[in-house]
Homo-oligomer: A and B are copies of this chain.
Amino acid sequence: MNHLNERQKTLLMLIIRDYIDSAQPVGSKRLAEHYHINLSPATIRNEMAALTEMGYLRQPHTSAGRVPTEEGYRYFVSEMMQSAELPETVQHTISHQFYQSRPELDQWMTLAASILAAQSQAVSVVAAPHVETTKFKHVELISTQGRQVLMVLVMVGGEVSQQILTLAEPVPQERLSQTAARLNGLLAGLTAQAISSLTARPDPLDQDILLLITQDMRRIANQSSGEIYTDGLTNVLAEPEFSESDEARRALKIFEEPATLQDLLARTTSNSNVGALQVLIGGEGAYDDLRQCSMVIARYGVPGMATGALGVLGPMRMAYSRTIPTVRFVAGLLSDLVNDNISGE
């Protein structure tokens, strides 16, 4: 497959780099002038013809310069993948921002999305970590007003779910506390499945709450991944390939349907490990509306405990050399944070 000689390789890389910068088909003359390769335009033309023949480049029309094909981008990315590292100063700036923010998941996710979008000048997506094993730890029942009760559910991993219930009739705080205490003793460390196979409780209130707890735990476990954070939606509107707004609209529409997005993140990363980067070029056949786009995706977190996904979506002509190391770095950072959080520092 890799039947490119050194010169073809350098030329292909140069062409793609130039096209990513300029968004314009690159011709032999331009290439010879701008980069000091000791080759005449004619020689370059010959090589270009070969690269076109091999499927790495194509011409928009007979008398235009060359534009990378999807295959070309794939080659470019795989060649560049190892070498790319984020400058240390940038790494420090980013780390700094994380360790200075309030230590809340919400803040981290927003920050990660914002950094990814700013660095890549494209749209970022961050899915909150999904706790993979939900075990009951603690429940609190707090009477708020009249028949309304606040139920706070804490999982073993530290995940919290809160919900306001409306009971059939007012129940004093004291009785709520007793119920909570009984359930805490009974359910500690159990999974939703284990809880639902328990025999019914004698006290009807206990039984009702128990039912709600299992429902809530199931809901948390069923979420294929956590909440979705995005940023940089307008970045992509500036790109020339999206100047006819309909193209852009179709791509951005993906972001208005969290289900689709979660699906995309989940599907494309289920077979990859934490730490490994995935680059999908040209929608990779999965979504028609993303045929003009590429995604750089990574999983983060602690496998078996809590993992999430994050990525950047942009035009196929995206600044991979910037985006790839950024995604990798931020994924690593979030993995560390999740790890710290789970293991109790």
When the two chains form their complex, are residues A145 and B344 in contact, meaning their CB atoms are under 8 A apart? yes
Is A144 part of the contact surface with B, judged by Cβ < 8 Å? yes
The CA-CA distance from A341 to B164 in the complex, in Å, is 9
Is A11 part of the contact surface with B, judged by Cβ < 8 Å? no
Is A238 part of the contact surface with B, judged by Cβ < 8 Å? yes
With A103-B166, A237-B249, A248-B237 in contact, is A150–B146 under 8 Å at CB?
no
The CA-CA distance from A103 to B147 in the complex, in Å, is 14
Interface string of A133-153 (1 = CB under 8 A from B): 000011010101111101010
Give the bracket for the number of chain A residues in contact with chain B. Answer: 35 or more
When the two chains form their complex, are residues B144 and A150 in contact, meaning their CB atoms are under 8 A apart? no
**Residue A344 contacts which of B148, B152, B245, B252 (CB distance < 8 angstroms)?**
B148
With A234-B249, A237-B249, A256-B234 in contact, is A160–B166 under 8 Å at CB?
no
With A140-B152, A152-B160 in contact, is A146–B231 under 8 Å at CB?
no
List residues of chain B with CB within 8 A of the CB of A81: none
Interface string of A332-345 (1 = CB under 8 A from B): 00000000011111
Is A242 part of the contact surface with B, judged by Cβ < 8 Å? yes
**Residue A166 contacts which of B144, B253, B345 (CB distance < 8 angstroms)?**
B345
Q: How far is the CB of A151 from chain B (nearest CB, A)?
A: 11
With A152-B140, A154-B150 in contact, is A231–B243 under 8 Å at CB?
no
When the two chains form their complex, are residues A249 and B238 in contact, meaning their CB atoms are under 8 A apart? yes
**Residue A148 contacts which of B102, B238, B345 (CB distance < 8 angstroms)?**
B345
When the two chains form their complex, are residues B146 and A345 in contact, meaning their CB atoms are under 8 A apart? yes
Is A158 part of the contact surface with B, judged by Cβ < 8 Å? yes
Is A232 part of the contact surface with B, judged by Cβ < 8 Å? yes
The CA-CA distance from A163 to B154 in the complex, in Å, is 12
Interface string of A61-97 (1 = CB under 8 A from B): 0000000000000000000000000000000000000
List residues of chain B with CB within 8 A of the CB of A266: none
Q: How far is the CB of A146 from chain B (nearest CB, A)?
A: 3
**Residue A142 contacts which of B154, B233, B244, B341 (CB distance < 8 angstroms)?**
B154
Chain B residue nearest to A105 in the complex (CB): B164
List residues of chain B with CB within 8 A of the CB of A245: 237-238, 242-243, 245, 248
Selected A-B contacts with CB under 8 Å, 23 pairs: A103-B164, A103-B166, A104-B163, A104-B164, A137-B142, A138-B142, A142-B154, A145-B344, A146-B344, A148-B158, A148-B344, A152-B162, A158-B164, A160-B162, A166-B345, A233-B233, A233-B256, A234-B249, A234-B253, A237-B248, A238-B246, A243-B244, A245-B248
Given A145-B344, A158-B164, A237-B237: 13 more A-B contacts, CB < 8 Å: A137-B142, A137-B144, A144-B158, A145-B342, A146-B345, A147-B344, A160-B162, A162-B162, A237-B249, A238-B245, A238-B249, A243-B245, A245-B245
Q: Enumerate chain A interface residues (CB-CB to B < 8 A).
A: 102-104, 137-138, 140, 142, 144-148, 150, 152, 154, 158, 160, 162-164, 166, 231-234, 237-238, 242-246, 248-249, 252-253, 255-256, 341-345
10 pairs of A and B residues whose beta carbons are closest in the complex:
A146-B344, A145-B344, A237-B249, A144-B158, A237-B245, A234-B252, A234-B249, A234-B253, A140-B140, A138-B142
